[in-house]
Amino acid sequence: MPLALIETGHLNVDLKPSPIEPSWILEGNPEARSHVLSTSADGAATTVIWSCTEGKFNWYYDVDETIVIQEGSIVLESKGMPPKRYGVGDVIVFHNGAHAKWHVEGYVKKVAVFRQTSPFLLGLAVRAVNKLKRTFFVPRQLAS
pLDDT digits (tens, 9 = 90+) for 99-143: 999 999 999 999 999 998 766 676 667 767 777 777 777 666 554
Rounded distance, CA 110 to CA 35, Å?
Answer: 11
- Rounded-to-integer distance, Cα 42 and Cα 93, Å: 22
CB 76 within 8 A of CB 102: yes
Tell me how many degrees the CA angle 132-2-119 measures, rounded to the nearest 5: 50
Instruction: Please give the single-letter amino acid code of residue 28.
Output: G
The amino acid that residue 82 corresponds to is: P
Residue 144 has pLDDT above 50, yes or no: no
For residue 5, pLDDT over 90 is answered with no
pLDDT at 25: 98
CATH number for the domain formed by residue range(s) 16-117? 2.60.120.10
* pLDDT given at position 124: 66
pLDDT digits (tens, 9 = 90+) for 7-58: 777 778 899 999 999 999 999 999 999 999 998 888 889 999 999 999 999 9
Position 93 scores a pLDDT of 97
Structure confidence by residue, pLDDT tens digits, 57-94: 999 999 999 999 999 999 999 999 999 999 999 999 99
- Name the pLDDT band for 2 (thresholds 50, 70, 90): low
pTM: 0.79
- CB-CB contact of 88 with 52 (8 Å): no
Cα 95-100-104 angle, rounded to 5 deg: 125
